[in-house]
Amino acid sequence: MTWTRRHLLLVAASSAVAGTVPWRAQARPSAGESSGLPVTPLQLLAAPVFNDQVLFALGGASSQTAEVGEVLRIAQVIRARSGNPSDPPTAAFDALVEAFGSAGDRLEQLAEQASAHPVTSRHRWFRAATCAAQQLFFVLGSGDGAREEALFASAQRRWLQAIRLLEPRVERFVVASRFGELPVTFFPAPGGSGARPTVLISEGSDGQNVETMQFGVTAALARGYNVVLFEGPGQMSLLFQRQIPFTPDWDQVVGPVLDAVRQRSDVGRVALIGISFGGMLCARAAAALSGLDAVVFEPAAWSFAPLWGDQTSMAAVQRSQGAGSREQQQVRRQVNAGLQAAWPSLSPTERFQIHKRGEIFSRQVLLEARAGQPPSDYYGLLEAMLPFDFRSDWQRIRIPSLVLANQGDWAFADQSEQAFALLTALPPSQKRLVRLTAAEGASLHDQPVGAQVAEEIVFDWLDEQLR
């Protein structure tokens, strides 16, 4: 399989409009460093889609939202129960979800038992939330995708229990937007008083709040920053509970949050950090909003459509956009028939990839994914991806910008560097591209086990911009 964790943007390596070429994965290149070592730092599970996700859980240890030994033991249990296949069947997805579920339930019980010891209880709640987040990520590949909303609720509840035990006290509130109320979490900087530098962190397409701890919350608080998290369309409660898909108009998501935060007396200069898919979406916010002082893309991208693995069908959908209604409907029928014909021969992993990446763009696909059904309107799904093109936004950004690019990034490929080249409105002194490598433990999309490496770079740069 070619796919990895957040890189499920790469769905099917090839297919044809009428289904004449089956959906099958291309071999994943064995890229490495000059030393001959592989880009993937640790092979816990044979299936890349499993392994990369478990590496994210392992990386949570940097923020005390995971424990190394616990994650390694869970991986051991998954190997034993599943047989450790490289192309996992549904039963292997079940084994993974069950292994993390058992571990999370145990940690929740231990957290409750440690209520007299708030630090211990907090750490256990965080780790329990991480386990639920892992379950949530893979549940659509299991035999019961209908559990998705319940697993999100479990991850969210455990994370909320954990942050209630933080000092200074974390604030939770909502802001109004055209998408309805957006949940916001405000972490005040520890120590001191007055206006403090502040970061708004925008997660991507499948990261949960607990995972954001390793993508900036812990690092920012340690450096005296306020931190603001929010849940937007296509994410967390808006996706899994309210079934609202992503919007390319991310300025209309960040804008209301920024306005609310700017009114606070304890907020000074403000930066926006986009994680994973957020590193694409935040280009619009950075270009359109006037209240931001800097932006970080971790990593960056400029367009979604070229990242979708089924470029044959994507090209057909794109060409049909300028056609008449009759021709467009004909292409719709062909594209939809192609997927329906291919679906029975797809592996469970391939079906999971399509469901997982499809639900963030379409409520209909979300409901079909939970029911284990193929997308009934594949054409409409691909069409919904087309507006997620931000080339012109990158060219309009006029605030200091930091762009990260990961060696071995199977999600965004070369788009980070291409996006950086589009920052034509910024002088060299106001933009910086940093390449994270396997040599420093920060390879793969979102550097799953290199959180501290990335955050040192990010916050050293932000210190220069905001202080």
DSSP string, 387-427: T-B-HHHHHH--S-EEEEEETT-TTTTTHHHHHHHT-TTS-
Mean pLDDT score of the chain, rounded to an integer?
Answer: 92
Does the pLDDT value for residue 313 go beyond 90? yes
Angle between helices 348-358 and 48-59 (to 10 degrees): 50
How confident is the model over 385-414, as a mean pLDDT? 97
Q: Where are the domains of the chain?
A: 6-19+37-161, 168-304+388-466
Does the pLDDT value for residue 187 go beyond 70? yes
Pairing of strands 182-187, 171-175: antiparallel
Give the pLDDT of residue 36.
81
Give the pLDDT of residue 104.
98
Token pair belonging to 451: 């959180």
CA distance 454 to 215: 9
H or E element at residue 125? helix 118-138
The 10s digit of each residue's pLDDT in 91-118 is: 999 999 999 999 999 999 999 999 999 9
The 10s digit of each residue's pLDDT in 148-163 is: 999 999 999 999 999 9
Least confident of 34-38, 64-68, 277-281: 34-38
CA distance 371 to 349: 16
Does the pLDDT value for residue 274 go beyond 60? yes
How confident is the model over 360-377, as a mean pLDDT? 98
How confident is the model over 15-22, as a mean pLDDT? 28
CA distance 353 to 82: 19
How confident is the model over 388-408, as a mean pLDDT? 98
Place of tokens 């306005």: 259
Closest CA to 111 of 99, 101, 120: 120
Looking at domain 168-304+388-466, which of 1.20.1630.10, 3.60.20.30, 3.30.70.260, 3.40.50.1820 is its CATH number? Answer: 3.40.50.1820
Does the pLDDT value for residue 32 go beyond 50? no
How confident is the model over 194-223, as a mean pLDDT? 97
Give the pLDDT of residue 303.
98
Token pair belonging to 448: 């799953």
The SS3 call for residue 29 is coil
CA angle 130, 113, 131 (to 5 degrees): 10
How confident is the model over 82-93, as a mean pLDDT? 98
Question: Are 309 and 14 contacting, i.e. CB atoms less than 8 angstroms apart?
Answer: yes
Give the pLDDT of residue 15.
31
How confident is the model over 324-342, as a mean pLDDT? 97
Give the pLDDT of residue 215.
97
Residue 39's pLDDT band, with cuts at 50, 70 and 90, is very high
Give the pLDDT of residue 35.
65
Residue 17's pLDDT band, with cuts at 50, 70 and 90, is very low
pTM of the model: 0.93
Give the pLDDT of residue 22.
26
